[in-house]
Amino acid sequence: MTTSYTTITYEVTPDRVATITLRRPEALNAFDRQMCEEVRDAWHRVKADPAVNAVVLRAAGDRAFCAGLDVTKPYGQPDDVWNHEDPGELLSPKWQKCWKPVVCAVHGICTAGAFYFINESDIVICSPDATFFDSHVTFGRVCAVEPIGLMRRVGLGETLRIALSGNDERVTAQTALRIGLVTEIVERDQLWARAHEIAAGIAAKPSAATQGTVRAIWESLDRPYRVAMEQSLIYTRLGNPIGMAEVEQAPRAPKKWRAR
């Protein structure tokens, strides 16, 4: 199944994987208001579709995964400053309360607002040509929203170095792997296939189990330890009976192992 958009493509395959592809390569896949709204719509499609258990997020073109907000055109904020909207709210699956696992495949340039996508994906892999940096301070802009999310992935020290270095430093694929920003480096010509392989493996498992896992882990970041533990126990009681019943009803398949 395919769905028509202008700035992205959205496709669902029989293995229960939805693929969202950013398609503004002429603008280094920078997002504008239209892309933000289309991505938000895609997350809601994922959330509501029982034929989708996992998502691949990727980008078209050779040069960039995403260059952040398209600063060559107005985003379209309302006149009242108190009604301004963070584009990240539209781009984020978690803000949209979509708990289906997201595998993000990064190549080329990944900068500034691109971290909205990285910060809220569940698994991030990249190709050797990927470079990560945040250009805000270089252009006199406060680097605030993106590093708050990034800090949860790589810690305070690495986040501050990225946020304060601006265009002076780029995090290579190897450094990204070392600091935990990505979990795997894959050759560029195999990147999309590998992302789909990971997503398909997740999608083959009961969605009640994988969604509950994603939600419990992410929501724990906003709660004190004991509160998070108590909340997660509720999710096991909700999701386990459904997921375990689905496993029991499914035909047995041979186990597959892959080293990482």
Per the structure, the count of domains in the chain is 2
Determine whether 249 is exposed, middle or buried from the number of CB atoms within 10 Å of its CB (0-12, 13-18, 19+): exposed
β-sheet with 64-66: strand ranges across: 64-66, 109-111, 131-133, 171-172
Model pLDDT, residue 255: 62
Query: Average pLDDT of each block of 10 consecutive residues along the chain (260 residues)?
Result: 83 97 97 95 97 98 95 83 85 95 98 95 98 94 92 95 95 97 98 98 95 92 84 77 75 64
Question: What six digits make up the tokens of 225?
Answer: 């330890």
Q: Do 69 and 26 meet the contact criterion of CB atoms below 8 Å apart?
A: no
Write down the pTM of the prediction: 0.91
Residue 52 in domain: yes
- pLDDT for 121-162, tens place per residue? 999 999 999 999 999 999 999 999 899 999 999 999 999 999
Model pLDDT, residue 3: 65
> CATH no. for residue 80?
3.90.226.10
CA 119 to chain centre: 6
Model pLDDT, residue 184: 98
Please check whether residues 175 and 245 belong to one and the same domain. no
Please check whether residues 134 and 181 belong to one and the same domain. yes
Please check whether residues 166 and 135 belong to one and the same domain. yes
Please check whether residues 80 and 136 belong to one and the same domain. yes
Residue 257 in domain: no
Residue 254 in domain: no
Phi then psi dihedrals of residue 50, to 5 deg: -70, -10
Model pLDDT, residue 41: 97
Model pLDDT, residue 229: 83
Phi then psi dihedrals of residue 131, to 5 deg: -135, 135
Residue 260 in domain: no
Please check whether residues 37 and 125 belong to one and the same domain. yes
Please check whether residues 51 and 31 belong to one and the same domain. yes
Please check whether residues 194 and 218 belong to one and the same domain. no
Residue range of the domain that includes 238: 207-249
Residue 259 in domain: no
- Characterize 53-73 residue by residue with b for buried, 16 or more Cβ atoms within 10 angstroms of its Cβ, and e for exposed: bbbbbbbebeebbbbbbbeee
Model pLDDT, residue 260: 67
Torsion of Cα atoms, 165 then 171 then 175 then 177, to 10°: 120
